[in-house]
Structure 1
Amino acid sequence: MSKKLDRSVIKSAAAVKELSQGELQKMAHEGTKEAVEKIRKYVEAEKDFEKKSYAEMALEECEVFYYQPRNEKEEEDFLLSELIRRKENYIDDLMMKIEGIESEIEKLMLEKKVHEKVLSSHKNKKEEWKYNWMQDFVTMEENKLGEIRDELAYDEAWVVEAKKIITTARYRNMPKRHLEHYDFNVDDGYENEHDCDCDDDEDCCDCLT
């Protein structure tokens, strides 16, 4: 049984007109919502590597003009968008830490089973070996897990409320990659948390952690 081609897909692809470098440059300088969408669709449809690369550069330039803050409130929303981006990245890190601790607890519990078998099979060594595994190992990890989960819950709530404050419509769906081009000169403790200004990373405690 032959499958019919989805004509709507073909029609959609055909509807994306090839744009010359001149047209791309012109739209990039327009910096409008329509220009951003038109270039973005062209980037998605273009198969030629060089043409696609040029269109991607035009898209970035167009986005610079489009997302540029135009008043004090937009400047606040723009900065808040960056803080949200950083917080969401930090949330991802916390979730990875939680997964790591949960795996560690699972490993410790498995080690406990083996430890009990060892003590059972070597009764003459029970007193000498009994501290090779202790419940404190699990308790420490569980305490860390609780602290991180609490921090995660707060940060997720923070992001929800922060997004409500943003009233500039075009910032609500602004690509995160766009914000990465800017130096906001804001130290929130989330970006580069392990960076160190020292010149010798062999003797610096911060560099070794």
Structure 2
Amino acid sequence: MDEITALLRERIYAQHYATGVWLKQEQLSDELGVSRTPLREALRRLEQEGLVRSEAGKGARVISGDVHTLLSAYELRAVVDGLAARLASANPSPARVREMRQLIDAQRKAIDPWNPRGYSKLNVDFHELIVHMTNNEFVIAQTSIIRMTAQVFAPVAMIEPSSALRAIEEHATIADAIEAGDGVTAEIVARRHIEKTITQLRFGAARTDSIR
């Protein structure tokens, strides 16, 4: 059952199943070569993680990438990322700090030539690393929201090199604060880092509404 859940989760993250797509149990059962019982349990777990939503009489489908859903997800991201950065600053190990720096360097290399898929993965790795640096199991349990916003919704919130460059410099500032043990600054910068995306989403939604 865990293997089925993991496989479906990774396929959603890899956009094999796009946002809004219905996951029909009969089709998935044939595709994966599994019975309906473990498949239903796997879909239930993915629903608990927020990756799919079930509708009575219709089944389950991958969470939609509409603006309202995006905003809701990023509002949680702002809190999780800010808290994680503050907690990670409490006792950052040299090895973890080096790992943060290496990920930032790799992100810069993904800019030219522009590699959006590579950058997106490195971006997820950077933020997940900070979450794991907290050593707080309850914060770590929120890791899925990072991959959900950065990977599942990627086709909706397309990344451009200019925004990636800005994000990388903010990553460097977050890393500096964590390394210095400055939890207050780390939390503020990490939270603002996500809030900029929220502002962009709201602005985009407002423009769309005004054009209608």
TM range (shorter): under 0.3
Bigger Rg over Cα: 1
Q: Report the TM-score, using the length of structure 1 for normalisation.
A: 0.26
Q: Which has the higher contact order (CA 8 A, sep 6+)?
A: 2
